[in-house]
Structures are given as structure tokens and as C-alpha cells.
Amino acid sequence: MNDRPKLWTALGVALLAGTALSQPGHAFGKAAGPGALQLADSSEGGEGGEGAPAPAVQGGEGGEGAAEPADLARDDVAYLLRLERLRGHLMAGMALYRKGEPRAAEVHLEHHAAALHEDLEEAFEARGVAAFEDRIEVLAKAVEDGAPADRVAADEAALQQALAAAEAAVAGLPLGERMEVVEELVRSAGRDYGSAVKDGRIVDVTEYQDAYGFLQSAQRLVEAARPAASGKAATALQQIQQQLDLARPALAEVLPPERTETDASVLWGAAARIEIARLGLK
């Protein structure tokens, strides 16, 4: 497709291990990790970066290999990735709410999820999907106001229903491409975890919680794919699940510990091995 130039991608952790893999794929640029690769998607721009207009992602030092922004109305992988990042913020926000942290939950619901929804509005219209910003706002307000738990649960269920309808727009997406979204969510988690942790200390709780939500969203996609998988697909999903299991201890809880011995390379390594597994599905 003209709007998604293909670049050769390299698996950073595989390079560190002395093994290189290259494969034409989506329009990728470097993420903030050793050799990590990222879909041309601006939704994770750090503070103030959520929901910003998608700039071209630089593909290397000095800007070589720059990629065009993804067209969310036509690019099914980029669309699902953006939608799952939104879901990840919802999952982080509701986990915080259940831990008795409504103010922290609001950051993910009212700000991050709402900004990602704004990015998706044109794609929703093009794909015939009903927008659901109002449902995000209703849930965020219920959390903010300390509404009764049953009302919050009902508002959350309504938002989940809207998310399911939005995901149904790409119901025919092949398993290999769905697992590409899983790979990119784990890369996003690694990038945000790397920003959150410095010298074993948590220096940015919100970034840590972003990473937590993205890993939860990746897990959901794998679980949703498992019932229909058999043969080679089932084997690939098992391999991908093993990598998620290895990554999970880094983000076991939405409320971070004061210190951690886990490095972001654990997440980047998991993403790299997920890429190897999902490439076998093409």
C-alpha cells in the first residue's frame, strides 16, 4: 500500500544475542529500547504526547528510513493497535479504581483513553463504528464522583460493549496480524516501563501504569485468539503466551513497588521473541 512503505525490521534483542532477523512489515520506526521497533503511531508520546497528531516516525539515526503516519481508516493493524492502547488505559484505570485510587484512575480514563478516542474518530466514521467518547466520559465521571460500585460496573460494561463493537470492524484480521498488535503492545510496555524505572526505582508511576495496561491488553488478545487456534497457530500462541508469562512479573500489579530489579530489556526481549513466533503465522 502506498501509505505504508515497507521497511526492513531487526529484532534488537536477537541482535544482542548474536542473531539477526529481518522481515518486511508495517511502517516501523525505532522505539526507546535497544533495537525495539514501533508502528508509525503517535499515541504514546510521553507526557503531553497522548493523542497528538501522528508525525512521521524516524526509522534510524539522523532520520533515515522515515515512515509515513499510519492511516487508521484503512490500516487494520494500526487501527487495532490504537484501539488496544485505549483499552489498555481503560484496564489500568479500572484496576486503579479497584485498588481505591480513583484520582490515578481518572488520568487513564479521562485523559489518556479520551485522547486516543479522539485519534480514532475519523477511522470510526470511515469504518461505520459508533463513537463512544460519551461512554468514556460517563465512566470517568462516575469514578471521579465516587458513584456506587454497581453504577461504575454498569458504566464500565457499556464502555466494554462499545469497544467490542469497534473491534468487530476488524474481525477478519488474520491471526498473524493480530499477534503483530500483541508484539507492539509489549514493545509499548517496554518503552513506558523503561521511562518509569531508573536505577531500580520507580520515577514515573503513570508510565509504569501505562505499561501495565498495555501488557494486560496484549494478554486479552492472546486469550481471545486461543479457542479457535489449532496446529501451527496453537503452537505459535503457546510460544507467545510463554513470553507474556516471562514479562508479567515486571508488571505484576498496577501499583508499582518502590524498587524493582527487573530491567526493561525483559519486555523488549519478550516482544522480539513474540515477533519471531508470529512471523511463522504469515
> What is the amino acid identity at position 115?
A
User: 86, 120 in Cβ contact below 8 A?
Assistant: yes
DSSP string of the chain, one letter each residue? -TTS---EEE-HHHHHTT---EEE-S-EEE-SSTT-EEES--S--STTTTT---PPBP-SGGGTT-BPPP-TTT-HHHHHHHHHHHHHHHHHHHHHHHTT-HHHHHIIIIIIIHHHHHHHHHHHHHHTPPP-HHHHHHHHHHHHTT--HHHHHHHHHHHHHHHHHHHHTTTT--HHHHHHHHHHHHHHHHHHHHHHEETTEE--HHHHHHHHHHHHHHHHHHHHHGGG--HHHHHHHHHHHHHHHHHGGGGSSSS--SB----THHHHHHHHHHHHHHHTT-
Residue 129 falls inside a structural domain: yes
Query: Does residue 125 form part of some domain?
Result: yes
Exposed (0-12), middle (13-18) or buried (19+): which is 211, by Cβ within 10 Å? buried
pLDDT at 68: 54
144 domain-assigned: yes
The structural domain count of the chain equals: 1
State residue 55's pLDDT score: 33
- Is 211 among the domain residues? no
- Domain holding 122, by residue range, is 76-168
Is 67 contained in some domain? no
Q: How far is it, in rounded angstroms, from Cα 134 to Cα 7? A: 38
Residue 98 within a domain: yes
Tens digit of each residue's pLDDT, the chain (282 residues)? 333 333 333 334 444 333 333 333 343 333 334 333 344 443 444 433 343 333 333 333 333 333 456 899 999 999 999 999 999 999 999 999 999 999 999 999 988 999 999 999 999 999 999 999 999 999 999 999 999 999 999 999 999 999 999 999 999 999 999 999 999 999 999 999 999 999 999 999 999 999 999 999 999 999 999 999 999 999 999 999 999 999 999 999 999 999 999 999 999 999 999 999 999 886
Please give the Cα distance from 163 to 198 (Å, whole number). Answer: 34
Q: pTM for this structure?
A: 0.79
Q: What nine digits make up the cell of 154?
A: 454498569
Domain contains 147: yes
Residue 271 domain flag: no
